[in-house]
Amino acid sequence: MKSIEVNGVGKKFTLKHAGRNTLKASAMSILRWRKGREEFWALKDISFTAESGSTIGIIGANGAGKSTLLGILARTMRPTEGSVAVRGRVSSLLELGAGFHPDLTGAENIRLNGSILGLTRREIREKFDQIVRFAELEQFIDIPVKHYSSGMYVRLGFAVAVEVNPDILLIDEVMAVGDETFKKKCLEKIAQFKTEGKTMLIVSHDLDTITEVSDRVLLLDQGRVVRVGEPGQVVDQYKSLGFQKAGAVVIREWGTKEAVVSAVRFTDGKGGAVERIASGGPLVVEIDYRAGKRIEDPVFGFGITKSDGTLCCGSNTIIDAFPVDAIEGEGTLRLSFGMLPLLQGKYYFSFSLHTRDHRTSYHRMDNWFSLWVDCPRKAEGVANIASRWERK
């Protein structure tokens, strides 16, 4: 039997411009409305079915339409076109604690949120202790939730939502919040739902989890289904797709230019310029600066980013306890790396010159310089951490 049937669903949004809260902006938007507002399709031609008892993972970049799709299945949004058939009681873990009121206590919020999610008062009474225990909030259940940490908030939301005992469960990025222990608990609960034969749709950026729990994975890109199929294959396709996009680190230059980093030279420490270095080798960077006026207490900073956007190391003259009391005119700083234990790949260097309180950036060059690192060991990741295998 099919629990969910989605047929040619499309969802069109009308883009609104910020600042609707004032009379003027409102009058402006009415004028714009007459001219025709901007429209865009968050979802287009979406069709798929979910067998009852199956788990479907939904992946895609930010803005691919994942949350919109879950919203339509949860009936909070109606599709602009196409049809959706959902058979069974739906519970959505779309935003944990969505119905919480900050001024009410945890206990009061359990009753409130439970009734919003469709539990009867009797059910809530019966399951109350269980919910509190699952959320591990025994000591805090009688204080207002505005004093909760975000982790506590989410635990309570999850504990209530899973008690609704739905036939179909929609889960959006639940695992992204909370600590490792909580994530493990979520996964156990998901596994339990799976054995109980519940249908689940899970949105997550955690690709390993998606691969593990899903029977099938649906890959969305710009509101369209790119592929539906076996989890491992679809996730691999997403990875290859994703890296091309994420590979574009932002390269830009900005600042007040009251003082600038006028030149940067990468050297091997003996004076020779380098464009590529060997992993584990030394690197000395010479940073020329020029200040048009005297600047007290400036801070120089650097950052090393891998081509996939991972920040490998970032520091500055305050963190490294090398105070520069003032600069005026031209000068040069030397930044020495004894050894760079990086794996093979292209790395981007950022340099900055700013005030101590970060309020004013005199000059920032984000990912402005690149350096290739050669590494004989073809391991994955960022750092070349020495390791050795042996049999005991």
Partner 1 sequence: MSAFSDVFDKREMLATLVARNLKIRYQGSALGFAWTLLNPLFMMLIYWIFIKFMKFPMSIPGLLTGILAWQFLTMCCNDSISAVAGHPNLVKKIYFPRIILPLSTVLANLVNYLLSLLVLFGFALLAGKLAWGPGLALLPLVVAIELVFCLGLALLVSCSSVYFRDTEHIVGVLLMAWFFMSPVIYSLDFITANSRIPPWAVRLYVVNPMAGLITLYRAIIVGGPYPGVIALVAAVVVPVVVLAAGVSIFRKYEPDFADEL
Question: 299 with 353: CB under 8 angstroms?
Answer: yes
> Which of 120/332 has CB closer to partner 1?
120
Q: Which DSSP category does 149 fall into?
A: -
Provide the mask over 109-128, with x wherever binding to partner 1 is found by CB under 8 A and - wherever it is not.
--xx--xxxx-xx-------
Provide the token pair at 215: 């029977």
Amino acid at position 239, single letter: K
Question: 106 with 146: CB under 8 angstroms?
Answer: no
* Three-state SS at 171: strand
Measured CA distances, 292 to 105, 136, 281, 365 (Å) = 58, 59, 36, 18
Question: 104 with 112: CB under 8 angstroms?
Answer: yes
Specify the residue for token string 């007040």.
256
One residue of 2, 8, 17, 26 binding partner 1 per CB under 8 A: 26
**265 makes contact with partner 1 (CB under 8 A):** no
Residue 272 has phi, psi (to 5 degrees) of -80, 135
One residue of 1, 15, 18, 21 binding partner 1 per CB under 8 A: 21
**Binding range to partner 1, per CB under 8 A, among 94-102, 218-226, 273-281, 381-389:** 94-102
**319 makes contact with partner 1 (CB under 8 A):** no
**290 makes contact with partner 1 (CB under 8 A):** no
One residue of 46, 94, 220, 235 binding partner 1 per CB under 8 A: 94
> Which of 20/239 has CB closer to partner 1?
20
Which parts of 32-91 interact with partner 1 (CB under 8 A)?
Answer: 71, 74-78, 90
CA distance 115 to 144: 18
Count of residues that interact with partner 1, criterion CB under 8 A? 31
Which parts of 223-252 interact with partner 1 (CB under 8 A)?
Answer: none
List residues binding partner 1 (CB under 8 A). Answer: 13-14, 20-23, 26, 71, 74-78, 90, 92, 94-95, 98-99, 101, 103-104, 108, 111-112, 115-118, 120-121
